[in-house]
Structure 1
């Protein structure tokens, strides 16, 4: 008889070990030392940490705390950097279009270069016409990024 496969639960529902509880208690101690927690809050959270059975019960105790040694300015700077990074990221459709355009341009330039070298006569530079779709793609990219930035600020 085949053995029945039981789906694995989420990581947060798994049982926590003593080492996990101690790690959370250390993070709470660091937050107390930095002045992020009052002594009463610290006592309550440490008591809950050592009574916790799952990772979810542990993680909720430190969910509102930054990593030890991180200032509020650093947290704000990291969040702002992540937001700027997300704003710069191109949608997949534009990435595909830029890749196709770049590939076609490279192939056309290589073919034109090979013909110019072997023909040894003046050759019309037809790859220059690839600047037209490139400019349109550039304008579309700028427009899409501006719209995405505007929507995020609302």
Structure 2
């Protein structure tokens, strides 16, 4: 703490009160001692008076951060180059990707049709730049899923 003769702020008194509560919870202070020191903490005017309340108590230990969980291991399929589009999970992932593409296509086409209708003429078909490349990539991935580098179908174990 700063010099003992300097005036303490409300935040300083609250911090000492919190420390006293932790020490009571740890069994270092009785309820009576805690209440007596708590009253003195809120009545304290200087840092010196606050220091007296915790002088016979150990300093608080820094809180150590909890270890972050390790990432889940990815099971080895035993197939060299097997991607996330293979097997049952691959079919599910592929279906979800196509469903996202279709949902986006419906939204952008609806926006284009509504704005074209409001303008009274067919506007430039900009949705093709949103759904075209995305659809082409999905189609290529779907066609090549389950094939090795030579274009032959991989055998699942």
Interval of TM-score (by shorter of Structure 1 and Structure 2) = 0.3 to 0.5
Q: Which has the higher helix share?
A: 1
Q: TM-score, normalised by structure 1?
A: 0.38
Q: TM-score, normalised by structure 2?
A: 0.37
